[in-house]
Structure formats: structure tokens, C-alpha cells
Amino acid sequence: FRLTAGSAEDVTVSRLALTQGGTISNANLSNFVLKQAGNVIAKSAAVSGRDLVVFAFDAPFALEKGQNRTFEVWGDIAAGARSNDTIILYVQNTSDVYAVGKLYGYGVTVTNTDVDTTGEADTLTLQAGQVTINFNGPAAGDIALRATDVAVYKFSLSAQSNVEVRNL
């Protein structure tokens, strides 16, 4: 997302709260990092009970008047997440961005028209990983009549992420 300072004065941003409106369980999201130009600006451990990822900046981020900056949000997705779960982060209320004007020292009016609903924000949809089944023997051959405990197929199963095997 991008933040732009108005043309009246320089601005410092001290806090930002993003609402998580996707279908993924909030318990499956953690270790959020807010970056600007590759630099870590703020961190948030998890999504709160109110579906918020709150970034309280260690040092206020300065934006000169008329200037805009692009930010990125990074985070960890737990193994309990499922294929087709969605993650949607957006700024629900203008009060979720706390910015102060440098000239007068008061909070500035925030205008948010681009990412204030789940329909306007980008949607990240999780996709399942690949499952591989490898044949490990035995070689083809005859099985004795009335033989017991004879291995007829040995295999290994590997996956890129946690999977649930329902039928085999």
C-alpha cells in the first residue's frame, strides 16, 4: 500500500492498524513486519481479537508534504492454514492511521478511498503444496501360494506442506 502526505505540511506516521478480513483463522497468522524500501519500520506479533494487526512505529516515519511511500507487510502463515484460505489486510477506519503534522503538531485528516473495504484490498489466496508418492519396491516377481506378510508395494509420501490423507 502507499501513504501520501498532503500538500499543506510534512507528516510523521506513528501507528498503523490493518484489519484482517480474510477467511484464514487469525491464529494462523503471526510475526508481521512492516517494511518500506526493504527497511523494517515496525513489527506486530499477531492479529488481535478485534481482527487488527497493529504496527506501533519505533520511530515516527516522516513524509514530506506531497511525498508518497510504498509499504509492504510480511508475516508468517502457520501450517494449520488450509488451501483456499484468504488473507485480506485493509484500513477499515481513518483513525487506524495515526499521523501528526510537523508544522502545527496536531493529528492530520486521513483520507482513505482505495483500501477501506475487503473488496478494494488485495486478496492473498493460499494454494496447496505438491504431494509426491515414490515407489520403493519390491521388484516385480511371483508370490508363493498361501504366503503371508509379503510386501507387495512399498512407497514413501512427501509433501511441501502439512497435508491430510483421507484415502489411499
- Tens-place pLDDT, residues 16-45: 999 999 999 999 999 999 999 999 999 999
Query: Taking all residues of the chain, what is their mean pLDDT, rounded to a whole number?
Result: 90
Name the band, by pLDDT with cuts 50, 70 and 90, for residue 114. Answer: confident
The pLDDT of 119-142, averaged and rounded, is: 85
Give me 3's grid cell: 501513504
18 closest CA partner among 126, 125, 121: 121
Residue 107 CB contacts under 8 Å (≥ 6 apart), including other chains? 98, 99, 100, 101
Residue 161 has pLDDT above 80, yes or no: no
